[in-house]
Amino acid sequence: MTKEEKKVILASSLGTVFEWYDFYLYGSLAVLIGAKFFSMFDETTRNIFALLAFAAGFLVRPFGALVFGRLGDLVGRKYTFLVTILIMGASTFLVGVLPGSESIGITAAIILIILRCLQGLALGGEYGGAATYVAEHAPHGRRGFYTSFIQITATAGLFLSLLVILGVRAMIGEAAFADWGWRIPFLVSVVLLGISVWIRMQMQESPAFQKMKEEGTHSKAPIGEAFGQWKNAKIALFALLGLVMGQAVVWYTGQFYALFFLGSVLKVDGFTTNMLIAWSLLLGSGGFVLFGWLSDKIGRKPIIIGGMVLAAITYFPIFKMISAEANPALHRAHSEIVVTVNADTSRCSFQFNPTGTARFTQPCDIAKAALARLSVNYSVVNTPGEAVVVSIAGQQPISAVGNPQFAAQLGTAVTAAGYPSASNDSVVKMSGPFDIFRGHVAVLILMLTILVIYVTMVYGPIAAALVEMFPTRIRYTSMSLPYHIGNGWFGGLMPATAFAMIAQTGDVYYGLWYPIVIALVCAVIGIFFVPESKDNDINQDEAR
């Protein structure tokens, strides 16, 4: 690798790390942000709006892919992803200085949502530009290795955001952090932005794009050519259905859903949850480069599809082992204590709520959601025409109809039946960042690291695979849209979908069927319809 090639990778990777850092900050601090910018509402409503603002960033990513993908194919890779990082960095910094709703009322909430949308648009254009820029600088036969450094950036951004948040909390204390310290991680991003812009300003346009411009063969209408012509559109469709959807659900399961499962389902405290995830990311992230390099030798498809299949067949045993190690008392309760919801199932909803704005007010829904939040395993018995009643082993049945004390009575009853409190002594708890050698902690880090390795298998080679599938003239546009639909929608909807599936069935593991089914379907489509791309000439004029 030459000095110039190293600089290309550093410029693209470092800037993308900072973009992901900015994006994840909001997700990590959504509850605090909800309290600051939606304080005119009650707690439940402001949490709904905070989640809606977070979801907005995911939902607009494909539109950012179209806007900036088109720009990148028209004017160049370098200047386009220079614009994306400026938008991302400025939006994040402005969140840090934006007055709260107590100062400027509803205007604060409106501006916050606008800034979140700008972040999502910028992120939609950033990834495709960085991956395309690096791949077009990489020598033939080394694209998987070179672009694998881009693939580290999302995980590195998450890791960096966790470290900064934990560090600021430790330095100033929880009370000060909740009051004003939460702004510090957002303000720090301006330093990261300055470094990224300075590095990217030193770079030259990619040789493939420069050659195409000089020859006058660049596309005049990249979006129309990429998706309006079936010969190109079908490649984008197969890329989405045969690679990216499966990669996305494995990626989100191994990092975000694992975080959600530890904290929300198994009731592990925030510090321990973040440290367990941070250690697994640290130990497993080398796999991005390893599998990117290996894909240059044996191909992109065997590794990506292999990661999907391995994840699908091992998710249930791994998550059950995580449950047994993280909260043994709760794990035992799941298998030993019988809880049933007697209700007319025709009046029960599937509680899919990706934006947090839906309201489920039927007694059946209230009962199921309350049990799901308590991490209780239960079954539903169809009792047409009868009132909704929750039966818990050894306890008096509790009616959910017209009962304002239902939630409190339910919590008391499940505890009396043998479900442990959230702070029971069996829950794993780390005393510090290096408390990693005790049995439960070590096993959890091992299990979580395996999940991260699956992430690196599907994600490490994906940039090279997508770049190689499309011609230079429409590459930025063509690869960006399927990537961000897959990751922004199918991956981003993972937590909301999993919770709805858990609430629907009463099985805390049932949400895993979402990534398992998508990964297996994607693997089958990938095997039969997606060609191997590692030997493609990326300067070709037609899609492959």
CB atoms closer than 10 angstroms to residue 102: 11
**Cα(281)–Cα(284) distance, rounded to whole angstroms?**
5
Domain 338-417 fold: Glutaredoxin (3.40.30)
Q: With a cut of 60, say whether residue 542 has pLDDT above it.
A: no
What are the pLDDT digits (tens) for 184-216? 999 988 888 888 888 878 777 777 777 777 777
Two tokens at 186? Answer: 């957002």
pLDDT value for 330: 93
What per-residue confidence (pLDDT) applies to 162?
A: 81
Residue 490's contacts (CB-CB under 8 Å, 6 or more residues apart) are 245, 248, 249, 518
User: pLDDT tens digit string along 448-467?
Assistant: 999 999 999 999 999 999 99
**pLDDT for res 543:** 44
Mean pLDDT of 288-297: 95
> How many whole angstroms from its chain centre is CA 231?
31
**CA-to-CA separations, 160 to 116, 353, 436, 439, 463, in angstroms, rounded:** 20, 29, 20, 27, 22
Instruction: Give how far Cα 363 sits from Cα of 45, 127, 254, 467, Å.
Output: 20, 44, 34, 51
Residue 109 has pLDDT above 50, yes or no: yes
pLDDT at 125: 84
Topology alike, domains 1-218 and 228-327+427-544: yes
Reported as a single tens digit per residue, the pLDDT across 222-231 is 888 888 888 8
Residues 23-34 have pLDDT tens digits of 778 777 876 887
219 SS3 class = coil
CB 462 within 8 A of CB 135: no
CA 367 vs CA 75, 92, 347, 393: distances in Å: 56, 39, 12, 16
Q: How far apart are the first and last CA of the chain?
A: 27
pLDDT of 355 strictly over 60: no
Task: Name the nearest CA neighbour of 322 among 415, 254, 414, 231.
Answer: 254
Helix (H, G, I), strand (E, B) or coil at 390: strand
Q: Looking at the predicted structure, is the pLDDT value of residue 524 above 70?
A: yes
Put the strands of the sheet holding 389-392 in their side by side order. Answer: 379-382, 339-343, 389-392, 398-399
Position 517 pLDDT exceeds 70 = yes
| Percentage with pLDDT > 70 across the chain | 94
Higher pLDDT, 28 or 335: 335
pLDDT in tens, 366-385: 888 888 888 899 998 888 87
Looking at the domain 1-218, which fold is it?
Growth Hormone; Chain: A; (1.20.1250)
pLDDT for 400 equals: 85
How high is the pLDDT of residue 250? Answer: 95
Residue listed under structure tokens 């039927």: 362
Per the model's pLDDT, the better-predicted residue between 521 and 475 turns out to be 521
Please, which residues have CB within 8 angstroms of residue 80's CB and are 6 or more apart in sequence?
68, 71, 72, 125, 129, 476
Over residues 490-506, the mean pLDDT reads 80
113-139 burial by CB neighbour count: b if 16+ within 10 A, else e? bebbbbbbbbbbbbbbbbbbbbbbbbe
Break the chain into its structural domains and give their ranges: 1-218, 228-327+427-544, 338-417
Which residue reads 């009396």 in tokens?
416
Across residues 275-302, what is the average pLDDT?
A: 93
| pLDDT tens, position by position, 72-99 | 888 888 788 788 888 988 888 998 999 9
Confidence of residue 539 (pLDDT cuts 50, 70, 90): confident
Question: pLDDT grade, residue 541 (50/70/90)?
Answer: low
- Which of 471, 445, 480, 467 minimizes the C-alpha distance to 148? 467
- Could you tell me what percentage of the chain is helix, strand and coil, using 3-state DSSP and rounding each to the nearest 5? 75, 5, 25
d(CA 159, CA 282): 8
Amino acid 353: pLDDT: 63
- The band of 127, judged by pLDDT with boundaries at 50, 70 and 90, is confident
Q: Characterize the bridge pairing of strands 379-382 and 339-343.
A: parallel
- When pLDDT is averaged across residues 421-446 and rounded to a whole number, the result is 90
196 secondary structure, DSSP code: H
Query: What average pLDDT does range 356-364 have in this prediction?
Result: 73
Over residues 12-24, the pLDDT tens digits come to 887 778 777 877 7
Task: Flag whether pLDDT at 234 surpasses 60.
Answer: yes
AA identity, residue 250: V
Read off the pLDDT of residues 467-483 as tens digits, 9 standing for 90 and up: 999 888 888 888 888 98
Count of CB atoms situated within 10 Å of the CB of 513: 17
Look at residue 372 and give its three-state secondary structure: helix
Whole-number average pLDDT of the chain: 86
- Give the closest residue to 307 by CA, choosing from 251, 366, 266, 265: 251
Which tens digit of pLDDT belongs to each residue from 34-85?
A: 778 877 766 656 666 666 676 777 788 888 888 988 888 888 887 887 888 8
CB burial of 162-199 (b: ≥16 within 10 Å; e: otherwise) equals bebbbebbeeeeeeebeeebbbbbbebbeebbeebeee
330's tokens: 């709760």
- Angstrom CA distances, 422 to 257, 275, 326, stand at 19, 19, 12
Q: Following DSSP, what letter does each residue of 143-180 receive, concatenated?
A: HHHHHHHHHHHHHHHHHHHHHHHHHHHHHH-HHHIIII
In this predicted structure, what is the pLDDT of residue 249? 94
pLDDT at site 51: 64
Q: Which of 108-117, 311-320, 351-360 has the lowest mean pLDDT?
A: 351-360
pLDDT score at 544? 46
How does 51-73 read in b/e, with b if 16+ C-beta sit within 10 Å?
A: bbbbbbbbbbbbbbbbbbbbbbb
CA atoms within 13 A on the CB side of 401: 10
In terms of Cβ atoms closer than 10 Å to its own Cβ (0-12, 13-18, 19+), residue 29 is buried
**228-327+427-544 fold:** Growth Hormone; Chain: A; (1.20.1250)
Contact 456, 472 (CB under 8 A): no
pLDDT value of residue 246: 95
Q: Are 481 and 236 in contact (CB under 8 A)?
A: yes
Distance CA 391, CA 384 (A): 16
